[in-house]
Amino acid sequence: MRSWLLICGMVIAVGCLWVPAVSAQEAQTPPAEATPTAEAAAPPAAAGADALAEDVDVSKIDEILSGEIDVQRGETGEYDPAGRRDPFRSLLEGLPEAEEEERPPGLPGMLIEELTLEGIIQTPSGILAFVQGRDRTSYIIRPGTKLYNGEVAEIQPKKVIFRQQGTDPKQLKPYEEVVRELTD
């Protein structure tokens, strides 16, 4: 198949570039006298090339070239999927966008990453910590305080340990510990 296409391409290229051969005697005669007929000017090898060129269907060339011109102008073609997915479109296109759900107000709506540890105090009822949230409001937390993506597991004199809900279902523990330490 490849060799046939190569031969056809060569025949077309040779046919486009073919210049009749002129003998030395014809080249010396003035142009007014030299009026050879098309049959006399064509060498016998060209007759075989014309026979091959007649077998090649070139009716689609103009259509292909006009399509290339349209693409260069920025016009695009149409894709007929015939019931199949268009392979040139994103798989994510057309999916509903993930809307961020409404969080509850205050600490229950805060993520662990959004809290800044401000201080830790010891009281007769236990140890407490002061944190600042994303809304620049200070909150008091104690062990067991629920947050949007976890809870306060433990408060020590210099750090707070949060238990964050895990996002990987393959983890052994369904949570991961996040430690926030006081900075001096």
Binning pLDDT at 50, 70 and 90, where does residue 27 land? Answer: low
What range does the domain containing 37 cover?
2-58
The CATH number of the domain where 119 resides is what? Answer: 2.30.30.830
More confident residue, 47 or 137: 137
The count of structural domains within the chain is 2
47 belongs to a structural domain: yes
17 belongs to a structural domain: yes
Summarised one tens digit per residue, pLDDT across range 58-70 is: 778 877 777 776 6
Summarised one tens digit per residue, pLDDT across range 70-121 is: 666 766 666 667 878 777 777 777 666 656 678 889 999 999 999 999 999 9
Global pTM value: 0.45
More confident residue, 64 or 129: 129
Rg (CA), the chain: 41
The answer, yes or no, to whether residue 38 has pLDDT greater than 50, is no
Average pLDDT, the chain: 74
111 belongs to a structural domain: yes
Residue 152 in tokens:
């306060």
